[in-house]
Structure 1
Amino acid sequence: MKTPRPHARTRRAAATLVIATAGLLALAGCDPRTVLYFLQPFEPTIPPPCKTELKGKKVVILAHALAGTQTDFQSLDRQVAREIGKIFREKVKKINLVDIDKTWAWMEGHPDWTDPTEAAKAFEADIVIFLEIESFQVSSPTSPGLLEGNSKTHIQAFELAHPKNSKGKPILDQPKESQNIYDAYKDTVFPVRGPIPESAGASKAAFRTKFLQIVATEISWHFIPHSPEDDIQDVKFGGH
């Protein structure tokens, strides 16, 4: 019989302690589910649906807001891309994110571009994330005078990599090939509980800023893990 490894014994011992503690507190009238959540030896996270990691990769973020969306919100696409970039720099180790201003300079210099991988090749990047913002509004469509954020974004990601041999090793002497590694849509509503009246504490400008941050955050979750607690929307608007 093999001797259990020390860390395996430690995990089992920790699990036994958690279960025993939860049982005792349950007898005392406490909800054991709450106890188990706070006593587990790790922080639970929700994995991203895109399985390709950004860690250690050179990444380009492209964003484009469809006609009509930009009418009320100038530079919306640039602001969304910049906000997502801030999140990636904070949450993803060793990511090499191409500066948003450089990305926009490339886009303005290539107004006829149609393939996002063109930008990846131009910056010698590994991954390009393309965001097409199809709608973005902060006024309730059903309740005039009330604030309610609604947006829809088409999220795509492409990877440039060398082809691999039968053993899964990259063939470095062959040019990189592009592959669509992710394609999804994200609808965001804020607040989820329903529209709120505009006030000194929740001006339209402050509400828009808050909603833009939430849109960017929820888009970032397609590529990075997040805590279940993050799903609870913060409806505070600072000092605005």
Structure 2
Amino acid sequence: MMGRKQIRGPFTKAWGVVVAMLALCLLLPAMSGCTLPTLVYFTAVMLGKDMRAPPPIDLLSYREKLNKPRKEPLRVAVVTYTDVGTQIHLGPLARELDDALAKTLAKGFEKDKDRLVVLAPAVVHRWQDRNDQWAALEPAEMARQLRADLVIFVELSNPSLFENGSNRTLYRARADVAVTVAPAHTSQAEDVLSDLVVKEHLHVEFPRGSGPASVDPDLPPERFRRAFVAYLARELSWLFLPHDPKEEFASEKF
């Protein structure tokens, strides 16, 4: 009598690996360094579960909150503000952050681009150039004028590239960041839409996991500023995109 051929699919193979890991953890705990959280994490990953930390702000949920038609993507604009003094001393920090954060979000929502699109930074910058008083507007009005459904308004306060008391010989960037997510202003249902405004506050320092970096010809202020902007964009994107907690401890490159 011929036996049946056993079919082993990916799910069966994954469970086989999990069982092997469990046996190893039980038999060799000291040598393997295996812990229950580690086992749970790798088991979930092997079974296809997304173990990334969920974002505190779910942008896609605004589709339902704003009754967005199914075939129309949610339009999101990123607008960053710094005062004139910052622009004089630190250069185009705000616009560089506009670019970096908008591109990071667009990439993060690429699979959902039929449901959410991020306005190109050039569109926002042209609007700013045509409106000298744009910074005095409420975020909801910014969204309306940009013809966006939502605006992510980022306000940088007290930004600096240098370590305090170092006489500009050491880099240690920092900034207080206020983030406001607001739907576009409409004349109807203002009270309802005001309930959809979300605010977050962060204090960001860079580099975070090491001491300050020395100022030298190989690391001019412009290069360090761009590295700080990239770091800021990554930190802010995690308000809206899931991320692996291990990324929070990734090396910081200049």
1:178 partner SS? helix
| Alpha carbons 2:106, 2:118 under 8 Å: kept | yes
Tell me whether 1:51 sits opposite 2:58 in the alignment.
yes
* TM-score normalized by the length of structure 1: 0.77
- Aligned residue type for 1:210: A
Equivalent residue, structure 1, for 2:204: 188
- Using the alignment, how far apart are the partners of 2:157 and 2:16 within structure 1? 48
Equivalent residue, structure 2, for 1:103: 124
Equivalent residue, structure 2, for 1:208: 225
* TM-score normalized by the length of structure 2: 0.73
Q: CA deviation at 1:235?
A: 3.0
Structure 2 unaligned blocks of 5 or more: 1-10, 64-72
- Using the alignment, how far apart are the partners of 1:185 and 1:35 within structure 2? 32
Equivalent residue, structure 2, for 1:31: 33
Tell me whether 1:235 sits opposite 2:239 in the alignment.
no
- Using the alignment, how far apart are the partners of 2:250 and 2:225 within structure 1? 15
1:40 to 38, 44, 56: 44
Tell me whether 1:72 sits opposite 2:72 in the alignment.
no
- Aligned residue type for 2:123: K
Equivalent residue, structure 2, for 1:165: none
| Alpha carbons 1:60, 1:120 under 8 Å: kept | yes
Q: CA deviation at 1:225?
A: 1.3
- The structure-2 alpha-carbon separation of the partners of 1:86 and 1:52, relative to structure 1 and needing over 3 Å to count, comes to closer
| Alpha carbons 2:54, 2:242 under 8 Å: kept | yes
| Alpha carbons 2:141, 2:184 under 8 Å: kept | no
- Aligned residue type for 1:84: L
Equivalent residue, structure 1, for 2:138: 115
- Using the alignment, how far apart are the partners of 1:15 and 1:46 within structure 2? 25
- Using the alignment, how far apart are the partners of 2:94 and 2:38 within structure 1? 43
Tell me whether 1:138 sits opposite 2:161 in the alignment.
yes
Q: Which whole-Å deviations, capped at 9, do the CAs of 1:22-52 have from their partners, x for residues lacking one?
A: 323426x111138524443235212222234
- Using the alignment, how far apart are the partners of 1:210 and 1:201 within structure 2? 13
Question: More helix per residue: 1 or 2?
Answer: 2
- Using the alignment, how far apart are the partners of 1:199 and 1:119 within structure 2? 40
Q: CA deviation at 1:82?
A: 0.8
* Identity across the alignment (%): 23
Q: Which whole-Å deviations, capped at 9, do the CAs of 1:174-216 have from their partners, x for residues lacking one?
A: 7786334311111111112221212344333222111111011
Q: Which whole-Å deviations, capped at 9, do the CAs of 1:52-90 have from their partners, x for residues lacking one?
A: 437842101111102321111222111101100110111
Structure 1 unaligned blocks of 5 or more: 1-8, 163-173
Deviates more, 1:64-73 or 1:78-87: 64-73
- The structure-2 alpha-carbon separation of the partners of 1:46 and 1:52, relative to structure 1 and needing over 3 Å to count, comes to same
Residues matched between the structures, number: 216
